[in-house]
């Protein structure tokens, strides 16, 4: 399905929560949505028969210097089309609803985004650090991250 | 032993002054020492052969650095084990931890006493031979349980529990599968069982060919005995890829060496018992070994026995490197739902056969047709 | 947790299948809570091999990042190299010469064979049959020899480049590849005779950890794990890239031939059959490879246009998807690598409930995970 048609369908259903379509230079195209409605939009994308995005390919956190973003890449096994979803978040306390009840695959990805960026996912069934030790301080993939000098007495 | 002591005293006059019991005791010690040397040598060489056979089957060479073609590898291993640091885990139960290897080793080694190596070569021809072997090899269970518990390690505990369950469960098929040989010979003594397979029938005098039920019980015995000795496909207690070596994970140095040696000793006992009970023991086909002078008769029968026993050991190694491992519930199911009923039915079959055909086997009946 | 039965109180045991363990295929820690031999909870704890590959990507150039992709999945390094090359080429719309694409497909499929050999060998070794592992290593050595001939390296190849491959195949490489294929194809039948249909092996694997197709898709499983549950989705056929449309091969799907559809045995057989298909592909590629240059002209300090691209390719362990954001400079702005093994671990906890400890090992082996992919 064409990205523009998808964007129009979503805009028709969710109105202002769907912000814009980033088609230039983006493959697959991104539909930027507001954080609050992410779960509802995700559920619609999965359940609507014409869309049926049943597979979450990837969920990544991004640090665009002024703001954070969470990028979702979705794919449909039935219709063989793909789309991206993007949510822009402020730098202080970035947080958005989880989608792991829509796609259970999201859980590990969300834990990674939390671990490396500090992005909180409300309602997640299990949000802990995944790659770094439980007691690590800071979120390394942020652009303004400073490496600690010592970790438990070991020079980093 | 008494008879031997008497003949020794008569042969060597200066010994007449010594009380008989001392001479007997001395002879027993000498016999035990000889058996110990044999057992340790076999276990050492066996470990090397195992690795070479493994190498052959796995398309590689095996040890070939120590000595020509690697034949001194077991000596190097032995020296290494003796020289290693003796580590006892901090919270382990020290007494039980130290005691466990001895139980396992004694359980394996004490069974060597009744193995019939040759016509006159048996350390003690007990008239409860098979019964004694069954009883003594059960000591291994205590040793393994102690090792698993005393290591203060959950993996060792799991290994010890599995081993105990496995060995105890497979005792029954092992015993039941050996009884047909006892029934045919009419005696529990191993020398009697071997002698009953001798005579003019040659190879067909073996218990293996006596009747279909004993043929079957040979395979039942071999399978169940492999489980007794923790060989793959039944090597769960020391499943290296799951339990990281199971009950002997915390052992190092010569304590581990004792477990290791006991495993080979057990392998030999199984091979020796299956040879003695089913494959004719030290009998040479179509030849009465007793007619030869003492020394040649013994050497010949020893050679024949060892050939057969080593062939069985090689087969065990072959199976070990071919088959994957059974899971613990599949193992227990195999013992209780398949082997136990089969061995009981088998025993019933042998008893009925002996009753109906008055103790004669198929080869015997065919031979009597020709006179 | 203490439960009271009639006579004896029992307690659940927490065992650490720790980072150092012969069967966890790397430094994977699984915290097992067991009731005797039955696992009530198996919690994977990953991150012991985290090397910050994504952060490193933000400070090296596109060409400099190629050796890092080798270490992403060292058993399928060619696939990871090519995945990175294809991603950057998609972003910058670079035209790759056809000979280079054929060479890439040849090495990717050869690497798929060697990766599946390791998966097969280590799986059977975990199950207690030590011999097939060494046979697999023996075949893999021959593949390593081929790669050494091609690029000089046996494990971390660094062979693909943005715009092509680093060097052409030396004379004799294609003949040696054909020799290897002729030698290897009957071996797959030998392995099936030896171990695949062995009764004990089948009993260990059949009906263990059945994953129905909807669960597999919902939890994001990809590659052989997804196909083992009966979903016939293979990126090489359904979203073809490079020159894969020119080759004729089957998509191997689990059939539930011994046990249920989606159990460990199906996933295992999918890998065995995929080796056969890879042999077919390499044969066709070697027969049809055209002449020509092997590298497109790409400037030294390469600056792709601003944009965001997501490209996924079929690696032996699943799909490796790379989400690349470029801001027009010589370094990537953000680089996210989504690997098959990482997402496969998400279903691990669900699938191991109620299994025995020995089955946990079987499950880890059937997923064919590798830790550098999970931890990056």
Q: How far does C218 lie from chain A, in Å, by closest CA?
A: 5
> Angle B253-278/B73-83 helices, nearest 10 degrees?
140
Whether the pLDDT of residue C226 is over 80: the answer is yes
Q: Are residues B107 and B57 in the same domain?
A: no
**What CA–CA distances, in Å, run from B13 to B10, B16, B18, B275?**
6, 6, 10, 40
Confidence of residue B245 (pLDDT cuts 50, 70, 90): low
Q: What is the pLDDT of residues C45-65, one digit of tens each?
A: 888 888 889 999 999 999 899
**CA–CA dist A125, B117 (Å, integer):** 69
Place of tokens 């081993």: B163
Which chain C residues are closer than 8 Å to B329 by Cβ?
37, 356
Query: Could you tell me which chain C residue has the CA closest to the CA of A113?
Result: C336
Nearest to B328 among C37, C129, C135 (CB): C37
Confidence of residue A65 (pLDDT cuts 50, 70, 90): confident
Q: Which residues 115-154 of A have a C-beta within 8 angstroms of C? A: 116, 129-133, 140-141
Nearest 5°: the CA angle B25, B192, B46 is 70
Number of domain units in chain B: 2
* Cis? peptide before B155, omega within 30° of 0: no
Q: What is the pLDDT of residues C297-333, one digit of tens each?
A: 888 888 889 999 999 999 999 999 999 999 888 999 9
Which ranges in chain B belong to alpha helices (H)? Answer: 2-11, 20-57, 73-83, 94-109, 129-137, 139-150, 154-185, 190-195, 212-228, 240-243, 253-278, 294-320, 328-333, 340-356, 362-369
User: Are chains C and B in contact at 3+ CB pairs closer than 8 Å?
Assistant: yes
Q: Are residues B48 and B127 in the same domain?
A: no
Q: Are residues B56 and B194 in the same domain?
A: no
Q: What is the DSSP string of C180-234?
A: HHHHHHHHHHHHIIIIIT-HHHHHHHTTSS---HHHHHHTT--THHHHHTT----
Q: What is the pLDDT of residues B282-325, one digit of tens each?
A: 888 777 777 777 788 888 888 889 999 999 999 998 888 888 88
Q: What is the overall mean pLDDT for chain B?
A: 84
Tokens of C261: 């559809």
Q: Are residues B57 and B99 in the same domain?
A: no
Helix (H) or strand (E) holding C76: none
Q: Are residues B67 and B165 in the same domain?
A: no
Q: What is the mean pLDDT of residues C12-35?
A: 81
Q: What is the pTM of this model?
A: 0.89
Q: Are residues B147 and B221 in the same domain?
A: yes
The answer to whether C173 touches C150, Cβ cutoff 8 Å, is yes
Q: What is the mean pLDDT of residues A99-118?
A: 90
The answer to whether the CB atoms of C219 and A77 lie below 8 A apart is no
CATH value at residue A75: 3.30.460.80
Q: What is the pLDDT of residues B135-164, one digit of tens each?
A: 988 888 888 888 888 888 777 888 888 888
- Cα–chain-centroid distance for residue C344? 11
Q: What is the mean pLDDT of residues A16-39?
A: 84
Going by the DSSP 8-state scheme, the letter that residue B336 receives in this structure is I
Residue among C52, C20, B84 nearest A138 (CA): C52
Domain locations in chain C as residue ranges: 2-375
Which residues constitute the domain of residue B332?
A: 85-369
- Cα–chain-centroid distance for residue C53? 18
Confidence of residue A8 (pLDDT cuts 50, 70, 90): confident
Number of domain units in chain A: 1
Q: What is the overall mean pLDDT for chain C?
A: 89
The residues pairing with A33 across neighbouring beta strands, listed in sequence order, are A18, A87
Residue among B159, B172, B278 nearest B224 (CA): B172
Return the percentage of chain C with pLDDT > 70, whole number: 98
**CA–CA dist C86, C160 (Å, integer):** 9
Which ranges in chain A belong to alpha helices (H)? Answer: 3-14, 38-47, 106-117
Sheet holding C318-326, edge to edge: A26-27, C307-315, C318-326, C334-338
Q: Are residues B255 and B351 in the same domain?
A: yes
Residue C347's Cβ-count burial label (10 Å; 0-12, 13-18, 19+) is: buried
Q: What is the mean pLDDT of residues C18-25?
A: 74
Residue among A41, A54, A36 nearest A12 (CA): A41
Helix (H) or strand (E) holding C56: helix C53-57
SS3 for C321? strand
The residues pairing with C312 across neighbouring beta strands, listed in sequence order, are C321
Whether the pLDDT of residue C5 is over 60: the answer is no
Going by the DSSP 8-state scheme, the letter that residue C94 receives in this structure is P
Nearest 5°: the CA angle A24, A26, A30 is 95
pLDDT of the residue at B16 = 67
Q: How far does C37 lie from chain B, in Å, by closest CA?
A: 8
Q: Are residues B240 and B101 in the same domain?
A: yes
Tokens of B264: 């080979």
Q: What is the mean pLDDT of residues A108-128?
A: 89
CATH assignment, C2-375: 1.10.645.10
First to last CA, chain C: 36
The answer to whether A39 touches A93, Cβ cutoff 8 Å, is no
User: Are chains A and C in contact at 3+ CB pairs closer than 8 Å?
Assistant: yes
Q: Are residues B127 and B161 in the same domain?
A: yes
Q: Are residues B214 and B339 in the same domain?
A: yes
Q: What is the pLDDT of residues C63-108, one digit of tens each?
A: 899 999 989 889 999 999 999 999 999 998 889 999 999 999 999 9
Going by the DSSP 8-state scheme, the letter that residue B251 receives in this structure is -
In this predicted model, which residue has the larger pLDDT, B285 or B238?
A: B285
SS3 for B21? helix
- For residue C296, the tally of other CB atoms under 10 A from its CB is 15
**CA–CA dist B144, B246 (Å, integer):** 10
Nearest to C358 among B233, B235, B328 (CB): B328
The answer to whether B147 touches B102, Cβ cutoff 8 Å, is no
From its phi and psi, is residue C47 left (phi > 0), alpha (psi between -120 and 50) or beta? left
- For an interface test with B, give the residue of C23, C117, C131 to mutate (most B CBs within 10 A): C131
Tokens of C288: 């049809």
Query: Could you tell me which chain B residue has the CA closest to the CA of C130?
Result: B321
- For an interface test with C, give the residue of A23, A27, A58 to mutate (most C CBs within 10 A): A58
Q: What is the mean pLDDT of residues B170-181?
A: 90
Which chain C residues are closer than 8 Å to B154 by Cβ?
13, 15
Residues contacting residue C88 through CB under 8 Å, at least 6 positions apart: C62, C94, C162, C304, C324
Tokens of A101: 């009840």
Q: Does A26 touch chain C (CB under 8 A)?
A: yes
Q: What is the CA radius of gyration of chain A?
A: 17
Residue C64 has, within 13 A of its CA and on its CB side, a CA count of 11
Pairing between strand C29-35 and C13-17?
Answer: antiparallel
Confidence of residue B2 (pLDDT cuts 50, 70, 90): low
Confidence of residue B1 (pLDDT cuts 50, 70, 90): low
The answer to whether B249 touches B100, Cβ cutoff 8 Å, is no
Q: Are residues B151 and B293 in the same domain?
A: yes
**CA–CA dist B155, B160 (Å, integer):** 9
**φ, ψ for residue C371, nearest 5 deg:** -65, -40
SS3 for C1? coil
Q: Subunits that touch chain A (at least 3 Cβ pairs < 8 angstroms)?
A: C
The residues pairing with C281 across neighbouring beta strands, listed in sequence order, are none
Tokens of C373: 């992919």
Residue among B101, B107, B91, B106 nearest B146 (CA): B101
**CA–CA dist B263, B260 (Å, integer):** 5
Q: Are residues B176 and B312 in the same domain?
A: yes
Q: What is the mean pLDDT of residues C244-251?
A: 90
SS3 for A5? helix
The answer to whether the CB atoms of C22 and B244 lie below 8 A apart is yes
């Amino acid at each position: 399905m064409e990205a523009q048609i998808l964007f129009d369908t979503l805009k028709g259903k969710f109105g202002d929560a769907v912000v814009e379509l980033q088609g230039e230079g983006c493959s697959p195209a991104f539909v930027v949505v507001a954080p609050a409605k992410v779960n509802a939009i995700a559920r619609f994308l999965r359940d609507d028969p014409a869309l049926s995005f049943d597979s979450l390919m990837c969920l990544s956190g991004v640090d665009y210097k002024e703001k954070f973003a969470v990028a979702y890449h979705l794919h449909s096994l039935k219709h063989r089309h793909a789309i991206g979803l993007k949510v822009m978040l402020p730098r202080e306390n970035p947080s958005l609803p989880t989608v792991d009840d829509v796609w259970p695959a999201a859980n590990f990805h969300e834990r990674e985004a939390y671990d490396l960026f500090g992005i909180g996912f409300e309602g997640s069934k299990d949000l802990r650090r995944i790659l770094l030790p439980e007691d690590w301080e800071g979120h390394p993939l942020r652009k303004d991250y400073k490496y600690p000098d010592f970790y438990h007495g070991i020079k980093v | 032993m008494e008879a031997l002591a008497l003949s020794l005293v008569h042969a060597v006059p200066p010994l007449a002054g010594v009380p008989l019991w001392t001479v007997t005791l001395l002879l027993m010690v000498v016999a035990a020492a000889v058996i110990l040397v044999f057992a340790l040598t076999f276990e050492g060489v066996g470990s090397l052969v195992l690795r070479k056979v493994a190498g052959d089957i796995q398309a590689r060479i095996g040890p070939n650095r120590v000595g020509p073609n690697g034949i001194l590898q077991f000596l190097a291993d032995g020296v290494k084990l003796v020289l290693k640091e003796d580590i006892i885990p901090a919270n382990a139960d020290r007494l039980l931890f130290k005691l466990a290897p001895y139980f396992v080793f004694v359980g394996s080694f004490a069974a060597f006493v009744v193995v019939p190596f040759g016509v006159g070569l048996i350390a003690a021809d007990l008239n409860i031979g098979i019964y004694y072997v069954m009883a003594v090899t059960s000591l291994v269970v205590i040793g393994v349980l102690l090792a698993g518990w005393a290591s203060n390690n959950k993996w060792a505990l799991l290994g010890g529990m599995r081993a105990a369950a496995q060995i105890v469960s497979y005792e029954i098929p092992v015993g039941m599968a050996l009884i047909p040989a006892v029934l045919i010979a009419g005696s529990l003594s191993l020398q009697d069982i071997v002698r009953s397979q001798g005579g003019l029938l040659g190879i067909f005098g073996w218990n293996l060919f006596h009747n279909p039920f004993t043929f079957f019980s040979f395979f039942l015995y071999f399978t169940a005995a492999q489980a007794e000795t923790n060989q793959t496909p039944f090597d769960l207690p020391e499943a290296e890829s799951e339990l990281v070596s199971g009950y002997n994970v915390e052992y190092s140095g010569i304590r581990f060496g004792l477990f290791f040696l006991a495993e080979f000793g057990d392998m030999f006992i199984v091979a020796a018992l299956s040879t003695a009970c089913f494959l004719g023991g030290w009998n040479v086909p179509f030849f009465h070994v007793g007619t030869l002078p003492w020394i040649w008769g013994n050497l010949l029968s020893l050679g024949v026995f060892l050939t057969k026993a080593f062939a069985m050991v090689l087969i065990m190694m072959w199976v070990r490197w071919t088959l994957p491992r059974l899971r613990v519930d599949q193992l227990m199911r195999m013992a209780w739902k398949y082997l136990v009923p089969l061995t009981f039915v088998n025993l019933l079959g042998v008893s009925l056969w002996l009753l109906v055909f008055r103790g004669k086997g198929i080869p015997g009946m065919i031979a009597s047709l020709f006179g | 947790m203490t439960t009271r039965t009639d006579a004896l109180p029992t307690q659940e045991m927490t065992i650490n299948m720790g980072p150092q363990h012969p069967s966890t295929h790397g430094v994977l820690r699984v915290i097992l809570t067991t009731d005797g031999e039955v696992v009530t909870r198996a919690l994977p704890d990953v991150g012991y091999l985290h090397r910050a590959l994504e952060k490193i990507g933000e400070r090296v150039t596109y060409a400099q990042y190629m050796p890092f992709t080798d270490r992403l999945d060292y058993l399928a390094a060619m696939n990871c190299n090519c995945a990175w090359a294809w991603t950057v080429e998609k972003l910058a719309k670079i035209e790759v010469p056809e000979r280079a694409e054929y060479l890439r497909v040849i090495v990717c499929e050869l690497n798929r064979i060697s990766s599946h050999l390791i998966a097969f060998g280590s799986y059977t070794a975990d199950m207690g049959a030590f011999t097939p592992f060494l046979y697999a290593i023996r075949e893999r050595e021959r593949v390593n020899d081929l790669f050494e001939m091609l690029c000089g390296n046996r494990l971390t190849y660094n062979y693909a480049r943005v715009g092509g491959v680093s060097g052409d195949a030396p004379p004799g490489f294609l003949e040696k590849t054909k020799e290897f294929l002729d030698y290897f194809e009957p071996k797959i039948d030998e392995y099936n005779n030896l171990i695949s249909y062995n009764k004990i092996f089948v009993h260990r694997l059949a009906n263990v950890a059945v994953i129905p197709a909807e669960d597999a898709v919902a939890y994001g499983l990809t590659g052989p794990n997804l196909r083992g549950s009966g979903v016939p989705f293979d990126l090489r056929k359904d979203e073809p890239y490079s020159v894969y449309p020119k080759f004729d091969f089957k998509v191997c799907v689990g059939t539930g031939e011994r046990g249920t559809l989606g159990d460990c045995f199906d996933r295992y057989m999918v890998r065995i059959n995929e080796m056969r298909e890879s042999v077919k592909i390499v044969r066709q590629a070697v027969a049809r490879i055209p002449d020509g240059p092997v590298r497109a002209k790409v400037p030294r300090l390469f600056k792709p246009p601003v944009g965001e691209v997501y490209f996924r390719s079929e690696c032996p362990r699943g799909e490796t998807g790379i989400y690349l954001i470029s801001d027009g400079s010589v370094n990537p702005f953000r680089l996210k690598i989504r690997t098959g093994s990482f997402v496969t671990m998400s279903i691990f906890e669900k699938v191991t409930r109620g299994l025995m400890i020995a089955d946990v090992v079987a499950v880890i082996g059937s997923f064919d995970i590798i830790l550098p992919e999970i931890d990056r």
